[in-house]
Amino acid sequence: MDIKKIIEEKCNIVVDSIKLIGEGYDSKAYIVNNEYVFKIKFSANKKKGYEKEKAIYDFLNKKLNTNIKIPNIEYSYISEELSILGYKEIKGTFLTPEIYFALSKEKQELLKQDIAMFLRQMHDLDYSEISSYTIDNKQNVLEEYQLLKETIYDSLTDIEKQYVEEFMQRLNSTTIFDGKKCLCHNDFSCNHLLLDDENRLCGVIDFGDSGIIDEYCDFIYLLEDSEEEIGVSFGEDILRLYGNIEISKAKEYQDVVEQYYPIETIVYGIKNNRPDFIEKGRKEIYIRTRKDEKLRK
Q: Residue 103: which residues within 8 A CB-CB, separation 6 or more?
A: 111, 199
The torsion angles phi and psi of 27, rounded to 5 degrees, stand at: -145, 160
187 as an active site residue: the answer is: yes
Cα–Cα dist 284/292, whole Å: 12
How far apart, in Å, are the Cα atoms of 172 and each of 77, 106, 148, 158, 182? 41, 42, 17, 21, 22
End-to-end alpha carbon distance in the chain: 56
- Residue 17 · residue 48 · CB < 8 Å: no
Q: Are strands 18-23 and 201-204 parallel, antiparallel or unpaired?
A: unpaired
DSSP state of 295: H
Cβ burial of 121 (10 Å; 0-12, 13-18, 19+) is middle
- Other Cβ atoms less than 10 A from the Cβ of 281: the count is 20
Cα–Cα dist 135/175, whole Å: 17
Candidate list 136, 158, 178, 187, residue with the active-site label: 187
Cα–Cα dist 149/187, whole Å: 28
Cα–Cα dist 239/226, whole Å: 18
**The residue count for the chain:** 297
Catalytically active residues, by annotation: 187
